[in-house]
Amino acid sequence: MNKRLLSVLTIIVLVAAVLGASAAAYTPRPGVLSPDEVNFNGKTVTILVGDLGYTGHNGGLPTDERVREAEVLFNVKIETQSLGTKDVVDTLTARIMAGDSKLDVIRMPHRYGYYTLVSTGMLLPVSEILPAEYYEALPSVDRYTIEKLEYQNNLYGFGVVYGLFNPTMMFTIYNRDMIEQEGLQDPYELYLNGEWSFETMTELAAAVTKDLDGDGQPDQFGIEDKSVSHDSRIYRIAAANGAEIAKPNSEGKWVFTYNQPEALEVMTQVAAWRKDLEITGGSLAGGTALFNTHNHLAGTRNLTINFGMVPIPSAVPGEYRYPVFDFAMNMLPLNSEYPEGLIALTDFLFREEDGEEFLDFNINSYMKDEEHFRVYMDAVENWQGEGDPFQELIWAKTQQAVISVINGEKGAAAAMDEIAPTVQAELDDLFKQ
């Protein structure tokens, strides 16, 4: 039996053991109407889907089979429409203001305008309709997502988008062949031993950075510079160290936190990689860089190198988090005319077991071996909402300061203290606090 087939069979057995059997029958969650209690009287419900092509089961769309069932059970016509990735807020706002959204369901990642929509009163606070028991019955990944995007003590999301796992979880990807050629310890072994950290990553990256052709300039690098050279990269990898631009304090007020140690450590470390140690450059995909600091599983689909995958490191050896770049939810517009029916229909169309099927797809499409599987399943089982949710608005306010740090122009603490009052004012305005 060849090695590739053996690996695939091993993965299949492990998946079966971890996931168990899928749910066979639909049972409404607490507070949700059953199909026989809902009647749309033949009206059309429009499901608006935004950028879930690689990160949602069936591209974020309901399956044809479920649509056929639902149209009979709920006496409804179901249409789907893509929101695309540009002018999403304008599209949704126009539908709402024109009164065309009364039977809409919105399914999209937060970064396409959630905070703009919710802060301008365009979305329905569905936690005023659904009981706490409903949210307790959701898959944990969807519950964490919805709770992450709580706004003024209300929840605006409901139902299942992910089910079992958030496919936008990010990992550090590395070139196994380069590790072997240089005679270095494999990051996967460091991960298993609880030794994987910024320090061990730095040691490996420094060891492989060298001039191979004798022209006096390095042409093999430790870390692909594109993965750390922009502020957006920092927000994504910093969450693995527990850093987010803002967090709610004990009183529920959102406060600027990029001036705290967990964020300062990351920015200082990246500046050292880029400017002090000069170990960034090259390309992971091109075989000239050992590490790309962060990518999601589907993002590896075009890699032709022999790659390994480990959690994004933190400052503490063995302390692993799994930040995501999308928090996607089902939402309703404020002028929804039949929210109870739309919630029931959405819960019927999108189910937890869809996530199991989508995980199988990801395993078979993108993973190469058992090591990939084990790292990924650790993330699936341990994700608890990590990731910075402020891409849509607040990142723009911190961009120049973060770039000044990673370019070696300013110290992290000084740069963050300079912008703290401005960013805090933005947070106060956004959350009306």
Q: Are 144 and 187 members of one domain?
A: no
Q: Are 118 and 258 members of one domain?
A: no
Measured over the CA atoms of residue 156, residue 161, residue 164 and residue 165, the dihedral's sign is negative
Report the pLDDT value the prediction gives residue 25, as an integer from 0 to 100: 82
Q: Is residue 128 part of a domain?
A: yes
**Structural domain range at position 215:** 170-323+394-431
pLDDT tens-digit series, residues 90-139: 999 999 999 999 999 999 999 999 999 999 999 999 999 999 999 999 99
- Residue 232 CA to residue 295 CA, distance in Å, equals 13
Q: Is residue 285 part of a domain?
A: yes
Q: Is residue 16 part of a domain?
A: no
pLDDT tens-digit series, residues 355-366: 999 999 999 999
- Residue 175 CA to residue 180 CA, distance in Å, equals 9
Assign 3-state DSSP to the chain and report helix, strand, coil percentages, each to 5: 45, 15, 40
Q: Are 346 and 407 members of one domain?
A: no
Q: Are 212 and 125 members of one domain?
A: no
Q: Are 314 and 335 members of one domain?
A: no
Q: Count, in order, helices (H) and strands (E) of the chain.
A: 16, 10
Q: How many domains does the chain have?
A: 2
Residue 23 near residue 139, CB atoms below 8 Å = no
For residue 195, the Cα-to-chain-centroid distance in whole angstroms is 25
Report the pLDDT value the prediction gives residue 113, as an integer from 0 to 100: 97
Q: Are 104 and 188 members of one domain?
A: no
Q: Is residue 84 part of a domain?
A: yes
Residue 136 half-sphere exposure, CB side, CA atoms within 13 Å?
A: 5
Q: 335: Cβ–Cβ under 8 A, 6 or more apart, which residues? A: 96, 99, 101, 102
Q: Are 236 and 363 members of one domain?
A: no
Residue 354 near residue 57, CB atoms below 8 Å = yes
Name residues of the chain where pLDDT drops below 70. Answer: 1-24
pLDDT tens-digit series, residues 366-386: 999 999 999 999 999 999 999
Q: Are 242 and 222 members of one domain?
A: yes
Q: Is residue 119 part of a domain?
A: yes
Rounded percentage of the chain residues whose pLDDT exceeds 90: 93
Q: Are 219 and 332 members of one domain?
A: no
Q: Are 294 and 347 members of one domain?
A: no
Report the pLDDT value the prediction gives residue 145, as an integer from 0 to 100: 99
Strand partners, 172: 310
* pTM higher than 0.85: yes
Q: Are 141 and 30 members of one domain?
A: yes
Q: Is residue 18 part of a domain?
A: no
Query: Most distant CA pair in the chain: distance in Å?
Result: 76
Q: Is residue 338 part of a domain?
A: yes
The one-letter code for the residue type at 189 is: E
Backbone angles phi, psi at 324, to 5 degrees: -110, 165
- Residue 133 CA to residue 195 CA, distance in Å, equals 40
Element (H, E) at 47: strand 44-49
Q: Are 221 and 81 members of one domain?
A: no
Among 48, 57, 108, 33, CA closest to 79: 48
Report the pLDDT value the prediction gives residue 248, as an integer from 0 to 100: 96
Q: 114: Cβ–Cβ under 8 A, 6 or more apart, which residues? A: 108, 149, 156, 327, 329, 331, 392
The domain spanning residue 273 has which CATH number?
Answer: 3.40.190.10
Q: Is residue 2 part of a domain?
A: no
Supply the DSSP symbol for 121: T
